[in-house]
Amino acid sequence: MINFAVIGAGSFGLKRAKAIKECTGAKLVALCDKNEETAEKAKKILDVDIKSFEEILNNKNIHAITVSTPNKFHLPIITEGLKANKHVFSEKPFCRNLEEAKKIFEVSKKANSIFQMGSNHRYFESVIYAKKLIDQNEIGEILSFNGRIGHNGERIKNSWFWDKELSGGGTLLDNGVHLLELSRYFLGDFISGIGSTSNAYWKNIDVEDTANGFFKTADGKTASIFCSWRLLSGYFFFEINGSEGYINVDGRFDTHGGDKIFWLNKKNNKILSKDFSHIKPQSYKLEMEKFIETVTKKKKPSPSARDGLEVMRMIDFIYSSSKK
C-alpha cells in the first residue's frame, strides 16, 4: 500500500486526491495547503488530516506526494520531496521555465525515489486508442503532429494563472503544454523550434493569451501547436500524419475524453471512426494507476523529469523566438 499526501488542496489537488482514493493499492493519508480555509474545506471533502509540508517530509509512513500548487512552488516542493525519498507526482507544467526544469532533472537523477510529471491527456480514451493504432502500425511511420487546444479564459480571470511570478506564463503553460507533451510522446525529441505569443484579447495582463509553436526533430519530422484562452468552450484537437495514413482526435477540452477519433490508411482506403463521448472520463484515475504501478513495480516513469525538461525546452523555444 502506497500512502499519499496531497500538496495543494485547490481544485486540481482535489481531483488528484479523489483519483488516489479510487485506486487500488493506494491510500490518501494527509493533505497540505498554506491557505487554512482551502485546507479545512478539503479536509471535510476528503476526510483526511491536515499536515504541514515539513511533517509530511519527516513522516516515513507517507511514501508519495502529489504537487498541485501554483507553478512557482513546484521546484522547492519537488526537489525537497525527492531528497526526502518521497515518490513525487507533479501537476504539469512541473515548473516555470527551463532553468528550473534543469534543476529538477538533476535532483531526479540522484534520487532514490520516482518522479513523474502529470499528463492526463495521454489518458483520454481517444488518445489511448490513437497510440494503439500507431503501435499496430496502422498509419506507418509518423511524420508530423498538428494540434490545437484552449478554453475560455474567463474561468481563470484574475487568478494566479494571470500572475507571471506565480505561473511562469499564460496559455502556453496552462494548456499548450498538453500538446507539446503529446507531440514528443508520438514523435520524440525536437532539436529546434520557433513560435510566437500574443495578447489577442486580454490586453492588460503580463502573460500571453495566445501562442503558436513549430518544431523539428533531427530526422525532419515536424510538429505545430496552437493554444488560446479565447475559445468559447474547451477545445482539444490533434492530427497525426503517417506514411500510410492519418489520425484525427477531435473533442472538447472539458470532457477529458477526447470525444472522437477518425483515421484513414491505405489498407482500408476509407475513413474509420470511433466515438468515446458516452464514456465517463477517467483520465486522472488512469494516470494515477499508472504512477502507482510505476512506483510499486519500480518501472521507468513516463513522463519523466527528462520528458518534462524537454517540454520546457520547447516552451523556451517559443518564448525566446517571440521576443525577437
Domain residue spans of the chain: 2-117, 122-281
What's the pLDDT at 206?
92
- Angle in degrees, CA 260, 262, 264, rounded to 5: 170
pTM of the entire predicted model: 0.96
Strand order, beta sheet including 142-152 = 192-198, 210-216, 222-228, 142-152, 230-242, 245-251, 260-265, 272-275
Convert the pLDDT of each residue in 95-151 to its tens digit: 999 999 999 999 999 999 999 999 999 999 999 999 999 999 999 999 999 999 998
Interhelix angle 11-22/283-297, rounded to 10 degrees, is 60
What was the pLDDT predicted at 179? 97
Cα-based distances in Å from 189 to 183, 196, 250: 9, 20, 24
Characterize the bridge pairing of strands 64-67 and 2-7: parallel
Contact 114, 78 (CB under 8 A): no
Summary mean pLDDT of the chain: 95
CA–CA separation, 140 vs 240, rounded Å? 11
Residue 153's pLDDT is 84
Alpha-carbon Rg of the chain, whole angstroms? 19
CA angle (21 as vertex; 107, 127 as ends), nearest 5: 70
pLDDT at 17 over 80: yes
DSSP designation for 273: E
pLDDT of residue 157: 87
Looking at residues 173-199, what average pLDDT do you find?
Answer: 97
- The pLDDT assigned to 293 comes to 98
Whole-number pLDDT of residue 279? 85
Helices (H), the chain: 11-22, 36-46, 53-58, 74-83, 98-110, 125-135, 164-167, 171, 177-187, 283-297, 305-322
CA–CA–CA angle 140, 145, 150 (5° rounding): 145
Q: pLDDT band for position 227 (50/70/90)?
A: very high
Per-residue confidence band for 181, with pLDDT thresholds at 50, 70 and 90: very high
Indicate if the pLDDT at residue 221 is higher than 90: yes
Pairing between β-strand 210-216 and β-strand 192-198 as defined by DSSP bridges: antiparallel
| pLDDT of the residue at 258 | 60
Confidence of residue 319 (pLDDT cuts 50, 70, 90): very high
Judge whether residue 233 has pLDDT over 90.
no
* pLDDT reading at 186 higher than 80: yes
pLDDT number for residue 255: 54
Beta-carbon contacts of residue 114 (< 8 Å; ≥ 6 apart): 87, 88, 294, 295, 298, 301
- Strands 222-228 and 192-198 come out as unpaired
- What letter would DSSP give residue 175? I
Torsion region of 67: left, alpha or beta (phi above 0 gives left; psi -120 to 50 gives alpha): beta
- What strand order describes the sheet that includes 2-7? 49-50, 26-32, 2-7, 64-67, 87-90, 115-117
Fold of 2-117: Rossmann fold (3.40.50)
Average of pLDDT values for 210-233? 94
Among the residue ranges 8-12, 185-189, 217-221, 250-254, the one predicted with the least confidence is 250-254
Confidence at residue 267, expressed as pLDDT on a 0 to 100 scale = 87
CATH topology of domain 122-281: Dihydrodipicolinate Reductase; domain 2 (3.30.360)
The pLDDT value recorded for residue 256 is: 54
Residues contacting 238, CB < 8 A, separation 6+: 145, 146, 147, 148, 179, 182, 248, 249
* CA nearest neighbour of 164 among 210, 107, 96, 105: 96
Confirm if 93 and 168 have CB atoms less than 8 A apart: yes
Q: Does pLDDT of 212 surpass 70? A: yes
pLDDT at residue 252 tops 70:
no
